Amino acid sequence: MKIAYDFQAFSQRYGGVALYFSKLASNIRSSLAETRIFAPFFQNRYVHSLPTQLVEGKYLAQYPYKSKRIIWKLNQILSSSKIGAWHPDILHQTYYDYSPASLGEKVRIITVYDMIHELFPNSFLANDRTSLLKLKAINRADQIICISECTRRDLINLTGIDEKKVSCIHLGVDAVTNTFDTPPNLQQSNKPYLLFVGARTPYKNFMGLLEAYANSTRLSNDFDLLVLGGDFFKNYELQKMRDLHLSPQKVKHVNADLGLLNAYYQQASAFIYPSLYEGFGLPPLEAMANGCPVVSSNAGPLPEVNGNAAEYFDPVDRCEMIAAIENVVYSASRTKELQLLGYARSSTYSWSRCADQTYALYQRLL
């Protein structure tokens, strides 16, 4: 069996979608089938770390200035040509804005990661075409994979797609291998910290976390708030912090490479995940695998994914968010309990299991 993955997910340096497909392609290829990623010009670090025989393309550490549209178009043309010449049995498209004409009648699969664009349109620009492209992609696909049962239900309810065409396959999480005998000094302050990881688009509810943190005298006095990844704070975020009387010494943005990500999880007093919605929610599982207690929103698929290994709160209730965080960070017994539950929960998710279930789906379709 020959399985092709297109270029779309690999124009970013990192990103959860790129991680998913790099794990999928490498795990399936290792024992099950021949897989290849067709990304003529890519800058993704996950793909760059894969064996060269798995990737058809050239790594660019950084795209030339103002060249992104040109490179996207080149990738479309070259990827379509190379995939057609390789004659795969299955094309698993990595996002929605691509449909190679040269594939003919081969089996097409697409993964839907979430329904955020449909449920939270105000989080995106008015000319964002993701919802339209997604609808076209799912209609032309032979099968659709959703990464949580919640996303599967939302997709069916919002689009009316035939539920027989939609499968649920959970993501995996890497086992932690880099625990630190001599912990790196991650911040100048000696205070313990609460950790937020990832982008801060409106549905991520970072503003809600800021308000909860500022409105708890105990939390804001006893803990710093570290914000890892995403862009540096925007002007409106800085203004919000000033309005809440939060100093730059209290709320800090950090850009860390992947080598230190686990260290930030391991040294945090708690990982806070205040999202209004997710398609799956990988960071809480990453935190659990690193022994970091998770305090999470109860929205979307998060209870489905995290099970009993998190302290939950209603993401729009600031008082409930404060209480949930305080219930963990001021209780040594609850912290220990969540650490043990988190280790057990995260161990049930693996990329090899994700790959096995996906490969079984490929076989059924053929």
In sign, the C-alpha dihedral spanning 346, 352, 358, 364 is: negative
User: What is the residue whose two structure tokens read 């919605």?
Assistant: 277
User: What is the residue whose two structure tokens read 């800090």?
Assistant: 252
**137 C-beta neighbours (distance < 10 Å), count:** 20
For residues 292 and 212, the answer to whether their CB atoms sit within 8 Å is: no
For residues 346 and 173, the answer to whether their CB atoms sit within 8 Å is: yes
Q: Which of 27-36, 135-144, 208-217, 275-284 has the lowest mean pLDDT?
A: 27-36
Mean pLDDT of 18-22: 94
Classify burial at 296, counting beta carbons within 10 Å of its beta carbon; exposed 0-12, middle 13-18, buried 19 or more: buried
Q: Which of 28-42, 314-328, 338-352 has the lowest mean pLDDT?
A: 28-42
Same fold, 2-172+350-365 and 193-346: yes
The pLDDT value recorded for residue 102 is 60
Residues in the chain: 366
- Does 207 or 261 have the greater pLDDT score? 207
Residue 319 has pLDDT above 70, yes or no: yes
Backbone angles phi, psi at 139, to 5 degrees: -75, -30
Distance of CA 251 to the CA centre of its chain: 23
Supply the DSSP string of 30-81, one letter for each residue. Answer: HHT-EEEEEEEEE--HHHHTS-GGGEEEEE-SSPPTT-HHHHHHHHHHHHHH
The pLDDT value recorded for residue 86 is 92
Instruction: Give 193-346's CATH code, choosing from 3.40.640.10, 3.40.1780.10, 3.40.50.10330, 3.40.50.2000.
Output: 3.40.50.2000
Residue 182 has pLDDT above 80, yes or no: no
Mean pLDDT of 146-171: 96
The pLDDT value recorded for residue 174 is 86
The pLDDT value recorded for residue 179 is 67
The pLDDT value recorded for residue 48 is 92
Residue 177 has pLDDT above 90, yes or no: no
- Does 30 or 291 have the greater pLDDT score? 291
| Distance in angstroms (rounded) separating the CA atoms of residues 255 and 278 | 23
Average pLDDT, the chain: 92
- Does 66 or 161 have the greater pLDDT score? 161
287: confidence class by pLDDT, cuts 50, 70, 90: very high
pLDDT in tens, 94-151: 999 877 666 666 889 999 999 999 999 988 888 999 999 999 999 999 999 999 999 9
- Residue among 243, 204, 249 at smallest CA distance from 223: 249
Residue 178 has pLDDT above 80, yes or no: no
Instruction: Give 2-172+350-365's CATH code, choosing from 3.30.1360.120, 2.60.260.20, 3.30.499.10, 3.40.50.2000.
Output: 3.40.50.2000
Looking at the chain, the whole-number percentage of residues with pLDDT higher than 90 is: 78
Amino acid, res. 242: R
Residue 1 has pLDDT above 80, yes or no: yes
Each domain of the chain, given as residue ranges in start order, spans 2-172+350-365, 193-346
The pLDDT value recorded for residue 180 is 63
190: confidence class by pLDDT, cuts 50, 70, 90: confident
For residues 1 and 90, the answer to whether their CB atoms sit within 8 Å is: yes
- Does 189 or 68 have the greater pLDDT score? 68
- Residue among 334, 179, 333, 203 at smallest CA distance from 273: 203
β strands within 131-249, DSSP E: 143-146, 166-168, 193-197, 224-228
Mean pLDDT of 11-19: 87
Looking at the chain, the whole-number percentage of residues with pLDDT higher than 70 is: 95
The pLDDT value recorded for residue 105 is 66
**Which residues have CB under 8 Å from 189's CB, separation 6+?**
224, 249
pLDDT in tens, 197-254: 988 999 999 999 999 999 999 999 999 999 998 889 999 999 999 999 999 889 999 8
The C-alpha angle 163, 167, 172, rounded to 5 degrees, equals 155
Residue 158 has pLDDT above 80, yes or no: yes
pLDDT in tens, 330-365: 999 999 999 999 999 999 999 999 999 999 999 999
The pLDDT value recorded for residue 181 is 59
The pLDDT value recorded for residue 175 is 80
**Which residues have CB under 8 Å from 220's CB, separation 6+?**
213, 214, 246, 250
| Distance in angstroms (rounded) separating the CA atoms of residues 354 and 365 | 17
